Amino acid sequence: MQEKLKRLLTPEGVWDLLPDMARQKRKLEEKIQELFSRWGYQEVSTPAFEYSANFVGEMKDGLAEQLYRLWDERGRTLVLRPDFTIPLARVAALHLTQAPQPLRLCYGGSIFRQTAGLQGKQRELTQAGVELLGSPHAAADAEVIALAAAVLQAAGLEEFTLCLGHSGFLDSLLSAYQVDLAERAIIKRLFYQRDFVTLKKQVNRLPLADRQKENILRIPTLRGGREVLEEARELLTTEQADRPLATLAEIWSVLEDYGVTAYLQLDLGLVRMLDYYTGMVFEGYTAGLGYALCGGGRYDRLLEHFGPARPAVGFAVSIDHLLTLLTREKKMPALTPPVYVAYGRGGRAAAIAAAQALRTGQTPAILAAAAATAAEARRQAAVRGAQRLLYYSEAGVLDLDLQKAAGEEELDG
């Protein structure tokens, strides 16, 4: 028995989804894909595994160690996809070069990452996201951010924060101060980790004027509404840092037109992954969840690894994190309870006809597997959480509203 049980359990980091939860997850995914489609994004589907060469080298920081690798019959290394951005870049370069630009693509499904054990981290993660390929404009950045806000709203979240930064801001400031490349990488990493303790030590060691050091160390405090851009401009009067600020100002203006700036918070110290994003970056958070619900940004240098160079911007939302949150806040998509259709002697044909009519009318109907007495049928309906019982027999039809009946019984008790 012990051996059998061991065989039946799933490995660490992956889960079976049981009835209701599985359906609710599917409904949430459908709702999000439906939204993507209404914004003009076309769904593409890519294989769960691909040649590892596509991923290694173009990888986001730290992902290489998290790959699930396998081999095909010719000894070539394959990987389970660890994200969707690279497969979509590949698809765009391989199959969609003739499609009208910019290209709006969306996706949804599982990604696989080996994480350290015993941390409660899932290893098969479900994501949904979009990529807008071929537009360098701030309006494209804004569209993707506005769509992320729409996704969180559609999922049922009322309060959330989208923090917005620009990967060029810190970079251009450090280059204006002539910080060498090795030091720049260290400082960027410290911003990425938000290790302000080490950052302070590191910056104070640089051969810079005190004012320049202060400026770098003030970046983490450049957070808030649109006024932050003015503050940053006064603080950092270098022309290079001005371009990212101008882009952010433009994105903000477009988002005003979308009416989503209430969710927006600028954060000029935001660094997402290293050497991957080339422009705007953003992340979505909500109270009570320590990690990001969604995130994305502009990565104009990725597509040239697969085909023609093309600017690109996109984001992904974690379906798992959304489900965790919706479950906790009891905001899961509601499921319609079924009607239980049963029959006794002589009632089968009528029961089948009734069940089919309900199904055609979008109401879920469960047909009893065999003839039963009315009392049995009622019990069977109750344990299945049915909203209504229809019982057909020679005597005609019994139509019982079970939700009402349950309420009355409670009152009686």
Partner 1 sequence: MDKEWLTIALAKGRILPPTLQLFTAAGIDCAELSADTRKLVFTVGAQKLRFILGKPADIPTYVEYGAADLGVVGKDILLEQEKELYELLDLKIGACRLVVARRRGSGAFTGGYVATKYPRITERYFQQQGKQFELIKLHGSIELAPLLNLADVIVDLVSTGKTLAENHLEEVETITPITSRLIANPGSYQVKGERVMAFTRKLERVLSVQEEVQ
List contacts with partner 1 (CB under 8 A). 120, 159-161, 163, 193-198, 221, 223-224, 265, 267, 283, 285-292
Minimum gap (Å) between residue 287 Cβ and partner 1: 5
Minimum gap (Å) between residue 162 Cβ and partner 1: 9
Task: Identify which of residues 65 and 304 has a Cβ nearer to partner 1 in the complex.
Answer: 65
**Closest Cα to residue 296, out of 106, 34, 169, 157?**
106
Task: Identify which of residues 163 and 354 has a Cβ nearer to partner 1 in the complex.
Answer: 163
Q: For residue 140, what are its two tokens? A: 């494209």
Minimum gap (Å) between residue 196 Cβ and partner 1: 6
Task: Identify which of residues 240 and 286 has a Cβ nearer to partner 1 in the complex.
Answer: 286
Minimum gap (Å) between residue 194 Cβ and partner 1: 4
Q: Residue 60: how many CA atoms within 13 Å on its side-chain side? A: 19
Task: Identify which of residues 23 and 226 has a Cβ nearer to partner 1 in the complex.
Answer: 226
Query: For residue 301, which phi and psi values (nearest 5 degrees)?
Result: -100, 0
Cβ burial, residue 336 (10 Å; 0-12/13-18/19+): exposed
Tell me how far apart the alpha carbons of residues 313 and 278 are, in angstroms, rounded to a whole number.
Answer: 10
167: Cα separation from own chain's centroid:
21
Minimum gap (Å) between residue 136 Cβ and partner 1: 27
Query: For residue 259, which phi and psi values (nearest 5 degrees)?
Result: 75, 30
Q: For residue 279, what are its two tokens? A: 């422009």
**Closest Cα to residue 266, out of 332, 303, 222?**
222
Minimum gap (Å) between residue 116 Cβ and partner 1: 8
Task: Identify which of residues 147 and 190 has a Cβ nearer to partner 1 in the complex.
Answer: 190
b/e per residue 31-61 (b: at least 16 CB within 10 A): ebbebbeebebeebeeeeebebebbeebbbe
Task: Identify which of residues 163 and 216 has a Cβ nearer to partner 1 in the complex.
Answer: 163
